[in-house]
Structure 1
Amino acid sequence: MKIATSRWARLAALVVLAGLVSACGLPRSGPNKREIYAGSVQRQGDAFIVSVNSRVTRATSVVPSYGLTAGFLNAGVIGSDTIRPGDTLGLTVYENVDDGLLVGEGMNSTILDEVQVDAEGFIYVPYAGRIRAAGNSPDRVRTLITERLDTQTPDPQVLVRRLAGDGASVSVAGGVGAPGVFPIERPTRTLGAMLARAGGVVIPTEIAVVTITRGAHTGKVWFQDLYSEPRYDVALRDGDRLLVQEDTRDFTVLGATGTQNRVPFENQTISAIEAIAQVGGLQTNLADPTGVFVFRNEPQEIAQQVLGRTDLIGPQRMVYVLDLTEPNGIFEARDFAIRDDDTLYVTEAPFVQWQKTLAALTGSLGTVDSVASTAAAAGGN
């Protein structure tokens, strides 16, 4: 009688444990492949699930394209001594006559000190009138004054010098060795040279982005493009503001990988296989290499190209599937580009859940024996 009671108690305990495992589920890192596919549009879900192939890879290989507008690209190099409003100039006028326009009797020259450039960029010189100074070099201003005076006095000679004012300058901030305000001098008239003058870029050059702000206009360019695309090494202008920053793009990794985290881009472009490697690869005891998924909100144009449709409206939820066990699976993962805000998710292998179930049950045998023993003891009493 006691043996039968013990068996019944043991069986009842096992049934209870199996029911608890079935009802409550087991710990896991996320949905399995079956549950992801259940959320597809084809099964009344709201996401398009697409297997990655060479055509899909080509359609989705979009990387951020930074560039500069024509206003930046077409700007000519300015001189290091360009005059600007607010500067103060000193003028010396020599005349080859005893009684000149500006020169007093018995003298051969006259000095006009502290001639200030007004807000509109002009100076006033007696007998020469208003002369455009801002935007010109002192040598050019000398020529303009000489041409005006030449019709009134023979062979005038004019000297122009800057007495006050810093001339053209730019500010450099962010990831450079020595941020500050720097004058535009002969060696630093272009973007690349000015960054070198500011101590060079001290953040990883692969992801360094340079922003130029000129008045109400802003442009961005990859730092490396200054050397691979010389046209981006543009001429600077007075008041330009340069900011060097790290690329802010990142992606999220979840599931059976070496780590689960938000991961910043380490290069301008990163492939799915590089993204997996960047987080330590797949967990060999957990991961299902046939279930590598990339979740993304795809722009309408790209989604239509991927799906071969023209009736989509607005961004679409897309789930791209990579099967690393396919003959070309590694190649497809190597070519498939990860983009900003992507979520890379690796499912667990099916047998892992079986292992967890068995572990949950076998790990509870001691509890079962204890329950059975207690039941048997109670029956004996």
Structure 2
Amino acid sequence: MARSIAAIVAVTLVASCGALPRSGPSKREIYAGSVLRDGDAFVVSVNPRVTAATSVTPALGFSEAFRNAAEIGADTIRPGDTLGLIIYENVEDGLLANAGTSASLIDEVQVDSSGMIFIPYAGRIRAADNTPEALRQIITQRLDEQTPDPQVLIRRLAGDGATVSVVGGTGAQGVYPIERPTRTLTAMIAAAGGVAIKPDIALVTVVRGGRSETAYLADLYKNPMLDIALRDGDTIFVEEDTRSFTILGATGAQNRLEFQTEVISAIEALAQVGGLNANLANPTGVFVFRNEPQEIARAVMGRDDLIGAQRMVYVLDLTEPNGMFDARDFVIRSEDTIYVTEAPIVAWNRSVAALFGSLGQVGSTGRALGVE
């Protein structure tokens, strides 16, 4: 009777071994979900052509409008500034001077919201966007028509000039003036104490006039064109790259990981969790699950009839002659899921362990009941 019970248990275990605990689907089950087998995902083996078609990195950087903006001087006059003027006239009875004097003081002339000031006998003059020297020449030309050889001195009495706000992951957040040494983006970040996050994954966003543009900090140093000139009222926001991917299955650890560099390959992603588990992993079954944009999906599949984003499953076989090179070159993107299947022998060993463990329990139960 014990042998009969054991046989029944063995048959039941073998028939249901697919229900035994495991880390996820098998390689065979993933292929079963392919479009070719009435599934809803394209299963594609990675090769150099596929790697080239999918190697899309974040398109970050500054537009021409930001890049072509010229540097502004720290002494540029702006709306709201208050100016003081002294005008010397080369006559005893001048237009502006009091009796017995040759100079007149025009104090506290405020630049209005439209950037204009009013000077007697010279009229309304645009002061904003001019330096004090440029404004001096303009006023001199205007007054020269009224009085011979006027001499004009201009100084800023109040007004902080151009400033920018620096916030986020910097050494010292705050409002900083645009001065001669800090007219460009990287110089201003340095003045704010540099970045307080890992430079490789630091993003720099500049908000200007309701427009926001972002670049990687590392790219600012690689490409001087991206080290843009600053403008009054700019906001500089430094933040950490929030892109992430997930690794599951027979690896050293299963986790959701953030990008540690601007670009990361499949090999580097696996290395972050300790690589494949030598006791469990199937190196022929490393899968990358991704929702691929229409354009890339068409390029990968060589089809022009695909509409909208497509579910793609990329297969990396690390045992192939070029498998490690393909994994090294295959670029991981944000929200990817990397899954490493278990080796077939692992499922077999698990079934055998469950089978013999259950048979041992059955034998023990039979002996307890006096059944041999």
Q: How does the TM-score come out when normalised to structure 2?
A: 0.97
Other-structure match for 2:112: 118
1 CA distance for matches of 2:3 and 2:145? 121
Native 8 Å contact 1:91 1:159 kept in 2 = yes
Mark the runs of 5 or more structure 1 residues left unpaired by the alignment. 1-7
Shift in Å at residue 18 of structure 1? 4.5
Other-structure match for 1:12: 5
2 CA distance for matches of 1:363 and 1:141? 94
Mark the runs of 5 or more structure 2 residues left unpaired by the alignment. none
Shift in Å at residue 113 of structure 1? 1.0
2 CA distance for matches of 1:119 and 1:197? 30
1 CA distance for matches of 2:167 and 2:7? 68
Shift in Å at residue 10 of structure 1? 4.1
Q: 1:177 and 2:210 equivalent?
A: no
Amino acid at match of 2:198: P
Deviates further, 70-79 or 131-140: 131-140
Other-structure match for 2:242: 248
Native 8 Å contact 2:90 2:102 kept in 1 = yes
Shift in Å at residue 375 of structure 1? 3.2
Other-structure match for 2:16: 23
Deviates further, 262-271 or 138-147: 138-147
**Secondary structure class of the residue paired with 1:77:** coil
2 CA distance for matches of 1:206 and 1:14? 61
1 CA distance for matches of 2:240 and 2:11? 53
Amino acid at match of 2:264: I
* Structure 1 stretches of at least 4 aligned residues deviating more than 3 Å after TM superposition: 20-24
Amino acid at match of 1:344: I
Shift in Å at residue 369 of structure 1? 2.0
Shift in Å at residue 189 of structure 1? 0.5
Shift in Å at residue 20 of structure 1? 4.9
**Secondary structure class of the residue paired with 1:172:** strand
Q: 1:230 and 2:224 equivalent?
A: yes
Amino acid at match of 2:301: L
Other-structure match for 1:152: 146
Choose the corresponding residue for 2:213, options 219, 224, 236.
219
Other-structure match for 1:98: 92
Q: 1:305 and 2:299 equivalent?
A: yes
Native 8 Å contact 1:170 1:181 kept in 2 = yes
Structure 1 residues 20, 361: closer, same or farther in 2, change over 3 A?
Answer: closer
**Secondary structure class of the residue paired with 1:194:** helix
Other-structure match for 1:288: 282
Structure 1 residues 52-77: Cα deviation after superposition (integer angstroms, max 9, x where no partner): 00000001000002111111111111
Shift in Å at residue 14 of structure 1? 4.8
- Counterparts in 2 of 1:1-381, with a 5 A limit? 8-16=1-9, 18-20=11-13, 22-23=15-16, 25-376=19-370
**Secondary structure class of the residue paired with 2:130:** coil
Shift in Å at residue 150 of structure 1? 1.1
Native 8 Å contact 1:286 1:352 kept in 2 = yes
Q: How does the TM-score come out when normalised to structure 1?
A: 0.95
2 CA distance for matches of 1:314 and 1:66? 23
**Secondary structure class of the residue paired with 2:252:** coil
2 CA distance for matches of 1:136 and 1:10? 102
Structure 1 residues 103-137: Cα deviation after superposition (integer angstroms, max 9, x where no partner): 11211211111111111111111111111111111
**Secondary structure class of the residue paired with 2:370:** helix
Shift in Å at residue 141 of structure 1? 1.3
**Over aligned residue pairs, what C-alpha RMSD do you find?**
1.3
- Number of aligned residue pairs: 371
Structure 1 residues 251-302: Cα deviation after superposition (integer angstroms, max 9, x where no partner): 1101001111111011110000110001110000000000000000111111
